[in-house]
Structure 1
Amino acid sequence: MRYRTLGDSGLRASVVGLGCNSIGAGLDLARTRAVVDAAIEEGITLFDTAEAYGEPAGASEELLGHRAGAPA
């Protein structure tokens, strides 16, 4: 995976990101974990999400938070 530095921050992000608009709309927690784990395994560090993603709105960010370690 290639990475780019974000401005002068010293932070690096993968040049490929994962669009998370189907998380919470088409993917449940188990599938979210599988997709995110696969992305991380490939070196992806950029996850594109928004408060409006998911059903109801915000479900994408909530499931990503659960994947990151919060209880389901």
Structure 2
Amino acid sequence: MQYVRLGNSGLKVSRICLGMMSYGAKSWREWVLGEADAEEHVRKALDLGINFFDTANVYSVGVSEEITGRT
């Protein structure tokens, strides 16, 4: 995996970012995947060296962030 510096923060993040908007509660959007799918995808991403995850408190009304934190 290739890594780059994140601005002037000194952090090194993977060039590939996994967006977490697709994970959370189906009550938010019908196309959202549940926690089991998220865990499988995040674990695989970590195994591949991905350490950059895009999440926000508005994705699935915060459930996406909770899932990201537990995984």
How would you bin the TM-score normalised by the shorter chain? 0.7 to 0.9
Secondary structure, aligned partner of 1:60: helix
Q: Larger helix proportion, structure 1 or 2?
A: 2
| Structure 2, unpaired ranges of 5+ | 26-31
The TM-score normalised by the length of structure 2 is 0.81
| Number of residue pairs matched by the alignment | 65
Alignment of 1:41-60 (within 5 A): 41-54=47-60, 57-60=61-64
- Offset from partner CA, 1:22-63 (integer Å, 9 cap, x none): 110422221111010011111111100111101xx1010011
The TM-score normalised by the length of structure 1 is 0.80
- How far does residue 18 in structure 1 lie from its aligned partner after superposition? 0.3
- Percent identity of equivalent pairs: 45
The runs of at least 4 aligned residues of structure 1 exceeding 3 Å deviation read: none
- How far does residue 3 in structure 1 lie from its aligned partner after superposition? 0.3
